[in-house]
Amino acid sequence: MEKNQELRNAWDFVEHTGISIFLTGKAGTGKTTFLRALKEHSNKRNVIVAPTGVAAMNAGGMTIHSFFQLPLSPFVPNANIKNRFDYSKEKRKIMRTLDLLIIDEISMVRADVLDAIDSVLRRFREPNKPFGGVQLLMIGDLQQLTPVVTPTEEELLQRYYDTPYFFGSKALRSINYVTIELTHVYRQQDETFITLLNNIREGNVSESDLQRLNQRYDPTFQPKQGSDYIRLTTHNRMAESYNEDQLRNLPTRAYTFSAETEGNFPEYNYPTDFNLTLKVGAQVMFIRNDNIGRFYNGRIGHVTYVDNEKISVLCPGDEEPFDVEAETWENTKYTLNEKTKQIEAEVQGTFKQYPLRLAWAITIHKSQGLTFEHAIIDAQASFASGQVYVALSRCKSLEGLVLASPIGNTAIINDSRVSDYISHQTEEAQKSISVLPTLKEEYYRQLLIEMFNFNDLKVYEAALFRVLTEFFFKYTKINALHKMALSDLENRVIGVSMKWEKTIKSMTTEQLQREDFKERIKKGALYFHSELTEIFSKTIPLTKEVETNNKVGAKRFDSTYTELKQTYDAKQDLLESMMEEDFTITNYLTRKQEAILNSIGDETERKRRKRRETKDSPAANKISTYEQSYILYKAGKSIEEIAKERGLTEGTIQGHLIPYINNGDIKLEDVIEEKKINIIKRIAKAVGRENGIKPIKEQCPSDITYNDINLVIKTTVP
């Protein structure tokens, strides 16, 4: 990524903007590598989904239909899939706190499926924003695998969509997203072969291209014993039949190994045969990578020894065969770790089998993502756009492939809708990339405006008020309170927030980053927190007590009341956190996620009750949050202990102690090691503070944190 500008652009769009991305590129350009890097290093909370079980397992995620609980039937625009509360609390938490949705193999995703995702995400997040405001990263190549659409599905979908491809999605067409095409090919090195593949991919095949390609046609070709040639076919039955014939013709004894499964592992997700039959001499392909470099996904070898307990395989280029051990695959689902507040993959079931499959032949579809030194390609019966390109692009070189059947123009199927779309998106991408620095700055501004936006509270309060007036009209006092709440919300909160938005939009990036404005943000958070407390702190608990025998009214009340209460609780928690911390993208996203989780969590009411009791205490009202931390520190508690007791971050506690350090009540050396202080002061003096503390952090040892730097600068550096 450091050497590839296209990959760096993709990273910047993902990490430093809220704009959705379509990451595409020829076979072998690093799309899968980028996904792995993103999984490991991204600061955004993300989930990976894919259209098929195999693709999901390869990407380390879940299928789209499983994660979003979608029906198998096509999605009709504006259809109601499920009520949001039909989903588990775990799933609601994950969706509510999601920053980034990664969809791998997007070329196989139909337009209606993307609209179904949009429908579900709107239920859990912001109903007026496409995909609920979640950023999308769509990875795939439209010139390779295409959406699977049956004739019945096509008849239904063409009433609503002009194309089954994902870019026909109505939700996707309503957002601005950037297309980044990776162009550097890592798989092939021969420029002549790369040019030939590009022409096939783009449907610009000349007679000379076909002539050069068909020079590799040899219908009588028979691989030498021990070579690693694999036959790529268009249909599954062709590959299976060829493998069975080859295995049957071997004179050696057959051994069958049955997989072991535990828990929930659906059959359609099996990575290889449940019953794997092998003989000495069988050509096999490894279907995953090992940890010590002996084999990788797609490597070809031959069985040199097999009995009921042992399998040995020799791969071309190796001097000696090696023993193969059974591997375990995991079927996962996304869960939320309540302690770390992170989205994690939880194992639901396992599949244990040798990481091998018979490999005299494989379908073009299953070869997706693999690389072969040598291949025999039988693509005469190609039936889908891009199949010939996928097959040919699996090979490292033109010399490494043999054609079992000649390839003519009729076998190279291209879709003009795809070509037109890519051409348009490429032009638009250049515009977006040219303004990337501005987009990164705007992301900060958008999040700041979002923090001071209370429109969702207004929507949910209005919805609850309508339910109360329709079904609970006898509760005149409560109805009057909500009528007043709506008015107060409009005048004292929404009106002021609109002024904030106008101010934020009018300011330069430098002005937004100034220390005095950061303090103003904290005061703004305090203002809105106080106003919302006055408007809702008594009204919401009183409303909980209303009752009705009308089932429709009761159901609507439960839904609207829960929406309002969770939104109010989350906003208050967020504002309370931002009253004490500087507004940064990382701080804001982290506190927002925590606030949402707390509002949905089982302990919400207990925390709220504890907070109300604290606030109602006369003694507590006289002690500021800064003083509480100072008192605990003077009582001998460490910053880590205070943070844990108060449910705040260590950085926040350090910030509380700054005034007391500046006043001489606390020695800085008692809070942070003197060695670190001297290092920070020396680097800060040399680097300067004009560009913030990031340049200082980059020069400091890894054990010095941003919190340490902030503490030293605010107490010692002029």
Rounded Cα–Cα distance for residues 609 and 573 (Å)? 13
Give yes or no for residue 295 having a pLDDT over 70: yes
Which pLDDT score, from 0 to 100, does residue 394 have? 82
Structure tokens given for 234: 């268009």
Nearest alpha carbon to residue 302 among 319, 288, 316: 316
Q: Say how many C-beta atoms besides its own lie within 10 A of residue 318's C-beta.
A: 13
Rounded Cα–Cα distance for residues 614 and 647 (Å)? 14
Which pLDDT score, from 0 to 100, does residue 369 have? 66
Give yes or no for residue 610 having a pLDDT over 60: no
**Residue 107 exposure: Cα atoms within 13 Å on the Cβ side:** 23
Residue pLDDT, tens place only, 5-41? 888 888 989 988 999 999 987 666 778 788 888 888 8
Whether the Cβ atoms of residue 654 and residue 639 lie closer than 8 Å to each other = yes
Q: Please state the rounded mean pLDDT for residues 260-280.
A: 88
Which pLDDT score, from 0 to 100, does residue 601 have? 64
Give yes or no for residue 336 having a pLDDT over 70: no
Rounded Cα–Cα distance for residues 200 and 383 (Å)? 15
Give yes or no for residue 603 having a pLDDT over 50: no
Which pLDDT score, from 0 to 100, does residue 611 have? 46
Percent of the chain at pLDDT exceeding 90: 28
Choice among 101-110, 365-374, 632-641 with the minimum mean pLDDT = 365-374
Nearest alpha carbon to residue 368 among 383, 386, 382, 354: 386
Which pLDDT score, from 0 to 100, does residue 661 have? 86
Rounded Cα–Cα distance for residues 388 and 409 (Å)? 11
Which residue in the block uniquely carries the two structure tokens 């009202």?
621
Which pLDDT score, from 0 to 100, does residue 54 have? 66
Architecture of domain 5-187: 3-Layer(aba) Sandwich (3.40)
Nearest alpha carbon to residue 528 among 560, 483, 464, 573: 573
Give yes or no for residue 89 having a pLDDT over 80: no
Nearest alpha carbon to residue 708 among 653, 664, 660: 653
Length of the chain: 718
Question: For residue 445, what pLDDT band results from cuts at 50, 70 and 90?
Answer: very high
Whether the Cβ atoms of residue 277 and residue 265 lie closer than 8 Å to each other = no
Rounded Cα–Cα distance for residues 24 and 30 (Å)? 10
Structure tokens given for 402: 């043999």
Give yes or no for residue 621 having a pLDDT over 50: no
Whether the Cβ atoms of residue 205 and residue 49 lie closer than 8 Å to each other = no
Q: Please state the rounded mean pLDDT for residues 92-117.
A: 90
Boundaries of every domain in the chain: 5-187, 203-411, 456-614, 625-715
Exposed / middle / buried, residue 436 (Cβ in 10 Å: 0-12, 13-18, 19+): middle
Question: For residue 303, what pLDDT band results from cuts at 50, 70 and 90?
Answer: very high
> Nearest 5°: phi and psi at 182?
-80, 130
Q: Please state the rounded mean pLDDT for residues 91-115.
A: 89
Rounded Cα–Cα distance for residues 427 and 442 (Å)? 22
Choice among 22-31, 98-107, 220-229 with the minimum mean pLDDT = 22-31
Choice among 85-94, 227-236, 294-303, 675-684 with the minimum mean pLDDT = 85-94
Question: For residue 622, what pLDDT band results from cuts at 50, 70 and 90?
Answer: very low
Nearest alpha carbon to residue 394 among 292, 297, 491, 504: 297
Which pLDDT score, from 0 to 100, does residue 334 have? 65
DSSP of 452-471: T--HHHHHHHHHHHHHHHHH
Choice among 80-94, 99-113, 149-163 with the minimum mean pLDDT = 80-94
DSSP code of 491? Answer: I
Which pLDDT score, from 0 to 100, does residue 278 have? 95
3-state helix, strand, coil in the chain (%, to 5): 50, 15, 35
- Starting at the edge strand that comes first in sequence, how are the strands of the sheet with 361-363 ordered? 361-363, 230-233, 375-378, 401-403
For 139-228, where are the alpha helices, taking DSSP H only? 151-157, 170-173, 191-201, 207-214
Residue pLDDT, tens place only, 651-662? 778 878 888 888
Which pLDDT score, from 0 to 100, does residue 309 have? 92
More confident residue, 54 or 390: 390
DSSP of 88-150: -HHHHHHHHT--EEEEESGGG--HHHHHHHHHHHHHHS-TTSGGGG-EEEEE--TTS------
Give yes or no for residue 619 having a pLDDT over 50: no
How far apart, in Å, are the Cα atoms of 501 and each of 18, 269, 461? 18, 49, 22
Structure tokens given for 2: 């450091």
Q: Which helix (H) or strand (E) holds 181?
A: strand 177-182
Q: Is the dihedral of CA 347, 352, 353, 355 positive or negative?
A: positive
Nearest alpha carbon to residue 170 among 124, 121, 130, 126: 130
Q: Please state the rounded mean pLDDT for residues 405-429.
A: 69
Rounded Cα–Cα distance for residues 271 and 56 (Å)? 11
Residue pLDDT, tens place only, 561-570? 988 998 999 9
Which pLDDT score, from 0 to 100, does residue 457 have? 93
- Starting at the edge strand that comes first in sequence, how are the strands of the sheet with 322-323 ordered? 322-323, 311-314, 300-306, 283-286, 356-358
Rounded Cα–Cα distance for residues 138 and 104 (Å)? 6
Rounded Cα–Cα distance for residues 259 and 265 (Å)? 12
Question: For residue 94, what pLDDT band results from cuts at 50, 70 and 90?
Answer: confident
Question: For residue 43, what pLDDT band results from cuts at 50, 70 and 90?
Answer: confident
> Nearest 5°: phi and psi at 233?
-120, 165
Choice among 196-200, 581-585, 714-718 with the minimum mean pLDDT = 714-718
- Kind of pairing between the strands at 20-25 and 177-182: parallel
How far apart, in Å, are the Cα atoms of 394 and each of 68, 300, 410? 32, 13, 21
Nearest alpha carbon to residue 344 among 48, 33, 37, 41: 48
DSSP of 545-612: T---S-HHHHHHHHHHHHHHHHHHHHHHHHHHHHTTS---HHHHHHHHHHHHHHHHSTTHHHHHHHHH
Q: Please state the rounded mean pLDDT for residues 199-206.
A: 78
Q: Is the dihedral of CA 143, 178, 158, 268 positive or negative?
A: positive
Q: Please state the rounded mean pLDDT for residues 396-403.
A: 88
Which pLDDT score, from 0 to 100, does residue 186 have? 63
- Beta carbons within 8 Å of 218's beta carbon, 6+ residues apart: 402, 403, 404
Which pLDDT score, from 0 to 100, does residue 438 have? 84
- Kind of pairing between the strands at 230-233 and 361-363: parallel
Rounded Cα–Cα distance for residues 419 and 423 (Å)? 6
Which pLDDT score, from 0 to 100, does residue 78 have? 67
Query: Which amino acid is it at 297?
Result: N
Choice among 423-432, 455-464, 617-626, 636-645 with the minimum mean pLDDT = 617-626
3-state secondary structure string across 698-711: HHCCCCCCHHHHHH
Average pLDDT score over the chain: 83
More confident residue, 136 or 141: 136
Which pLDDT score, from 0 to 100, does residue 462 have? 94
Q: Please state the rounded mean pLDDT for residues 210-223.
A: 88
More confident residue, 22 or 388: 22
Which pLDDT score, from 0 to 100, does residue 608 have? 44
Q: Please state the rounded mean pLDDT for residues 412-432.
A: 67
Which pLDDT score, from 0 to 100, does residue 618 have? 46
Q: Which helix (H) or strand (E) holds 629?
A: helix 625-634
- Beta carbons within 8 Å of 638's beta carbon, 6+ residues apart: none
How far apart, in Å, are the Cα atoms of 220 and each of 216, 223, 404? 12, 10, 8
Rounded Cα–Cα distance for residues 285 and 301 (Å)? 6
